[in-house]
Amino acid sequence: MTAPTPVNSFRTLPDETGHFGQFGGRYVAETLMPLILDLEKEYRKAQQDPAFWAEFDALMKDFVGRPSPLYFAPRMTDYFRAKTPAGKGPKIYFKREELNHTGAHKINNCIGQILLAIRMGKTKIIAETGAGQHGVATATVAARFGLPCKIFMGAKDIERQKPNVFRMKLLGAEVVSCESGSQSLKDSMNDALRHWVANVHDTFYIIGTAAGPHPYPELVRDFQSIIGKETREQMLEKEGRLPDMLVAAVGGGSNAIGLFHPFLDDPEVQMTGIEAAGHGIDTDKHAASLTGGKPGILHGNKTYLLQDEDGQITEAHSISAGLDYPGLGPEHSWLHESGRVNYVPITDTQALEAFQLCCELEGIIPALESAHALAALPQLTAEMDEDKLLVVNVSGRGDKDIFTVAEALGVEL
Amino acid sequence: MTSNRFETAFAKGPALVCFITGGDGNTAANLDALVEGGADVIELGMPFTDPMADGPAIQEANIRSLDAGTRTADIFRMASEFRARHPQVPLVLMGYANPMIARGADWFADECAKAGVDGVICVDIPPEEDAELGPALRANDVSLIRLATPTTDAARLPAVLEGSSGFLYYVSVAGVTGMQQAAQGSIEDAVAKLKAASSIPVAVGFGVRTPEQASEIAKVADGVVVGSALVDLVKQHGTDAPAHLRKLTAALAEAVHAER
């Protein structure tokens, strides 16, 4: 059953030109434009095709392992109740995306996009990756469907993320080293776009987050919205009502928009998106594009970007490779300006503390990205009454991050 | 008037369009060398941190320029000084959207007009996003030069032509700058279609490096664009580049102008 769309809905965008207010759009080279228009046409058909969603749902269940649990975190809840004033400290739930196949939410989107690629008759897959999580998820679906796959990855990231590079190779992907620019995520996206523009006739680009030219932000959001839809059903079943607060980390912002979007028109549900503040937003080493950036155009969309006054893109920094990007998805820029979602910066140090706390109290090693979301709990729990319900999206597991964390804590492995 | 400079340049028959990146080497001397060699239209590249439509040669030129501290104000200074030295040669700024809109499109268009810039090529603003820059340029009488590509089909072409002026830049290969050249036959077909649909001149670029290639293209098109081969010379020869640029440009110009 679909409820009628309320008059003042937050869920009707993007508009027909792919904009969320002033954000989003299709800022690509002419060579790519016809393909982007084709992709939109094909996605509109797929949206209306029950067979497409039946295949998506079947893969989600048996290949990805969904639904992911909504887990009540008892010790974390008690811990914050003990630290906050009497009567404060909500019940804390985790949406356990880290239990998905490949260890993060990324696979949800990859399944959806490879099904679109196949519908469009494309025979080759490319993707960009920073830490390697999206690269591994893309290599996984490419293997599952038997399509050759190239993953573009910054030379520095290849050096930093050797286990994921090997995983991709095991899955049959070719990892292409990007030597240009800062040799990290944004440069891998530049090189993926350069490859795509020369191979548009047979190649599908699986973008890893809810960003890029329209219709990518919309379709990535739609595929990731399974997170929020499940959360809604699970919370109604467990508590008989909707959650009061949703918390998720925002790099490009796909796990956050996936959790938030199904709740945007429920005014009683508040939402907090977490930006990576690196060494602090008053330093030049952070990745908080809403707090420290301004609107601009990069990688096919208009959105908040870290940039200088000439519009040159500045380097992002975060201890979490998945948040280490100088922009974010355009819908988040719009939700920020419209005030529907509150965005908060969290530093490397705060994320590391939350990472350890989650390990010790709940027996769950979260990804550093998810640790940024967990790090908002001290402040949020102090403000919320104990009968309130809070959900943190534990978007990925932290196995990939143990080397980074060990180094930050001064531990020799 | 700006449109007159383009009209004059293309009226004589096939024109040579030369690109270099601003702030890479001694730009004023490099630009003068291109004009002395016989370039009919100059494209001055505005450096950007993320030049995603460019191949390695121009990517590296962007980085060299930014590393040398080039700012947007420097590009406009180079442009207005060029205009003072060369009152008749059409000058085009080519680059990416973000540096062009960073202070607002109106600011950018106004600076272009003041510096004597005749046209602007913005790689990542397709007709669908024209509102971002097009109206401001047209209001300031600066031509918006659009790109057509092998993937631009008949249905899209009217949208590409709408609001564009100066000349139409046909990107002859689906790919990035400086990598491979297109087959002559495909260029001929494409240019014929573009010319049938529009009255503005059609210049062809991407992958054109030698006088032989330029000569072939000049047989069918109104202009030939050369970029990466010139940028490579700036990389190789640094401040000694002008003599080399003059030599290659002269060879290219001779080949192109021979088709007049």
CA-based nearest residue to A263, from A333, A336, A337, A341:
A341
Q: What are the distances in angstroms from CA B118 to CA A366, B87, B108, B141?
A: 55, 11, 13, 8
**CA angle at residue A330 from A329 to A334, to 5 degrees?**
125
β-bridge pairing A245-249 and A270-278: parallel
Indicate yes or no: CB of A31 within 8 angstroms of CB of B175. Answer: yes
Q: Measure CB to CB from residue B175 to each of A30, A198, A302 and give the nearest one.
A: A198
- Report the number of secondary-structure helices (H) and strands (E) in chain B: 12, 9
Rounded to the nearest integer, the mean pLDDT of chain B is 95
Residues A89 and A55 in one domain: no
pLDDT tens string B74-106: 999 999 999 999 999 999 999 999 999 999 999
Distance of CA A71 to the CA centre of its chain: 20
Q: Is there a domain that residue A165 lies in?
A: yes
Q: Is there a domain that residue A173 lies in?
A: yes
Distance in angstroms (rounded) separating the CA atoms of residues A398 and A406: 12
Residue B183 — very low, low, confident or very high, per pLDDT cuts 50/70/90? confident
Residues of A involved in catalysis: 106, 128, 395
For residues B206 and B226, is the Cβ–Cβ distance under 8 A? Answer: no
User: Which residue segments constitute the domains of chain B, with CATH numbers given?
Assistant: 2-257 (3.20.20.70)
How far apart are the CA of B234 and the nearest CA of chain A, in angstroms?
19
pLDDT tens string B186-198: 999 999 999 999 9
From A200, which residue of chain B is nearest by alpha-carbon distance? B174
Q: Is there a domain that residue A11 lies in?
A: no
Residue B1 — very low, low, confident or very high, per pLDDT cuts 50/70/90? very low
Residues A98 and A112 in one domain: no
In the annotation, is B43 catalytic?
yes
| pTM for this predicted structure | 0.96
- Written as six digits, the tokens of B97 are 């959207």
State the best of B124, B132, B133 to mutate against chain A, taking most chain A CBs within 10 Å. B124
Residues A232 and A207 in one domain: no
Residues A354 and A396 in one domain: yes
Q: Which amino acid is at B225?
A: V
**B68-101 burial, b if ≥16 CB within 10 A, otherwise e?**
eebbbebbbebbbebbeebeebbbbbbbbbbbbb
Q: In what order do the strands lie in the sheet with B41-45?
A: B143-144, B119-122, B91-95, B41-45, B15-21, B223-226, B202-205, B168-171, B147-148
Average pLDDT over residues B122-140: 97
Average pLDDT over residues A371-393: 98
Q: Is the pLDDT of residue A22 over 80?
A: yes
For residues B55 and B15, is the Cβ–Cβ distance under 8 A? Answer: no
Q: Is there a domain that residue A347 lies in?
A: yes
Residue A3 — very low, low, confident or very high, per pLDDT cuts 50/70/90? low
Q: Measure CB to CB from residue B156 to each of A34, A186, A309 and give the nearest one.
A: A34
Q: Is there a domain that residue A283 lies in?
A: yes
Q: Is there a domain that residue A80 lies in?
A: yes
Average pLDDT over residues A278-294: 96
Residues A145 and A271 in one domain: no
From B57, which residue of chain A is nearest by alpha-carbon distance? A180
- Written as six digits, the tokens of A89 are 């400290």
Element (H, E) at A94: strand A91-96
Residues A338 and A295 in one domain: yes
pLDDT tens string A78-102: 999 999 999 999 999 999 999 999 9
Q: Is the pLDDT of residue A2 over 70?
A: no
Distance in angstroms (rounded) separating the CA atoms of residues A292 and A244: 28
Instruction: Compute, in degrees rounded to 10, the torsion defined by CA atoms A204, A205, A210, A214.
Output: -70
Average pLDDT over residues A291-300: 97
In the annotation, is B106 catalytic?
no
| CATH number of the domain that residue A232 is part of | 3.40.50.1100
Among the three residues A220, A244, A260, which one is the final residue of a domain in this structure? A220
Q: Can you spell out the DSSP letters for A66-90?
A: PSPPEEE-HHHHHHHHHHSPTTB-P
Backbone dihedral angles phi then psi of residue A200, each to the nearest 5 degrees: -60, -25
Residues A163 and A95 in one domain: no
Domain count for chain A: 2
Q: Which residue has the tokens 């804390």?
A: A92
**Domain span at A354:** 65-103+225-408
State the best of A31, A191, A294 to mutate against chain B, taking most chain B CBs within 10 Å. A31
What is the percentage of chain A residues whose pLDDT exceeds 90? 91
How far apart are the CA of A335 and the nearest CA of chain B, in angstroms?
21
Among the three residues A166, A186, A220, which one is the final residue of a domain in this structure? A220
Q: Which residue has the tokens 């400086």?
A: B178
How far apart are the CA of A300 and the nearest CA of chain B, in angstroms?
7
Distance in angstroms (rounded) separating the CA atoms of residues A135 and B206: 31
Q: Is the pLDDT of residue A367 over 80?
A: yes
Task: List, as ranges, residues 250-269 from A with C-beta within 8 Å of B.
Answer: none
Residues A327 and A383 in one domain: yes
Q: Is there a domain that residue A140 lies in?
A: yes
pLDDT tens string A202-233: 999 999 999 999 999 999 999 999 999 999 99
Backbone dihedral angles phi then psi of residue A190, each to the nearest 5 degrees: -60, -45
A212 part of contact set with chain B, CB < 8 Å: no
For residues A235 and A241, is the Cβ–Cβ distance under 8 A? Answer: yes
Q: Which amino acid is at A13?
A: L
Residues A170 and A260 in one domain: no
Q: In what order do the strands lie in the sheet with A270-278?
A: A70-72, A91-96, A389-394, A245-249, A270-278, A342-347
Average pLDDT over residues B163-177: 92
A285 part of contact set with chain B, CB < 8 Å: no
Indicate yes or no: CB of A297 within 8 angstroms of CB of B55. Answer: no
Q: Measure CB to CB from residue B102 to each of A32, A190, A296 and give the nearest one.
A: A296
Indicate yes or no: CB of A30 within 8 angstroms of CB of B152. Answer: yes
Q: Pick the range with the lowest mean pLDDT from A37-51, A171-185, B5-19, B91-105.
A: A171-185
pLDDT tens string A227-282: 999 999 999 999 999 999 999 999 999 999 999 999 999 999 999 999 999 999 99
What is the percentage of chain B residues whose pLDDT exceeds 90? 92
Distance of CA A63 to the CA centre of its chain: 20
pLDDT tens string A121-146: 999 999 999 889 999 999 999 999 99
Distance in angstroms (rounded) separating the CA atoms of residues B44 and B207: 18
Average pLDDT over residues A30-34: 92
Kindly provide the ipTM of the predicted complex, given to two decimals.
0.96
Among the three residues A185, A220, A255, which one is the final residue of a domain in this structure? A220
For residues B200 and B222, is the Cβ–Cβ distance under 8 A? Answer: no
How far apart are the CA of B52 and the nearest CA of chain A, in angstroms?
5
Indicate yes or no: CB of A197 within 8 angstroms of CB of B72. Answer: no
pLDDT tens string B203-257: 999 989 999 999 999 999 999 999 999 999 999 999 999 999 999 999 999 999 9
Give the pLDDT of residue A91. 98
Indicate yes or no: CB of A197 within 8 angstroms of CB of B53. Answer: yes
Residues A282 and A146 in one domain: no
Q: Is the pLDDT of residue A179 over 90?
A: no
**Residue among B40, B43, B222, B232 flagged as catalytic:** B43
Residue A7 — very low, low, confident or very high, per pLDDT cuts 50/70/90? low
State the best of B77, B103, B129, B228 to mutate against chain A, taking most chain A CBs within 10 Å. B129
Distance in angstroms (rounded) separating the CA atoms of residues B46 and B51: 10
Rounded to the nearest integer, the mean pLDDT of chain A is 95
B129: chain A residues, CB-CB within 8 Å? 25-27
Give the pLDDT of residue A338. 97
Q: Measure CB to CB from residue B126 to each of A33, A299, A313 and give the nearest one.
A: A33
Residues A193 and A342 in one domain: no
Q: Is the pLDDT of residue B125 over 60?
A: yes
Query: Would you list which residues of chain B are within 8 Å, Cβ to Cβ, of chain A?
Result: 48-56, 59, 63, 66, 71-72, 96-103, 123-126, 128-129, 132, 146-153, 156, 160, 171, 173-176, 179
Residue A1 — very low, low, confident or very high, per pLDDT cuts 50/70/90? very low
Residues A377 and A290 in one domain: yes
Residues facing residue A303 across a β-bridge: A296
State the best of A19, A33, A178 to mutate against chain B, taking most chain B CBs within 10 Å. A33
**Residue among B24, B40, B54, B111 flagged as catalytic:** B54
Neighbours of A240 (CB within 10 A): 7
A276 part of contact set with chain B, CB < 8 Å: no
How far apart are the CA of A372 and the nearest CA of chain B, in angstroms?
28
Residue A4 — very low, low, confident or very high, per pLDDT cuts 50/70/90? low
Q: Is there a domain that residue A59 lies in?
A: yes
- Written as six digits, the tokens of B147 are 């790109």
Q: Measure CB to CB from residue B66 to each of A186, A187, A312 and give the nearest one.
A: A312
Report DSSP state, residue A267.
Answer: T
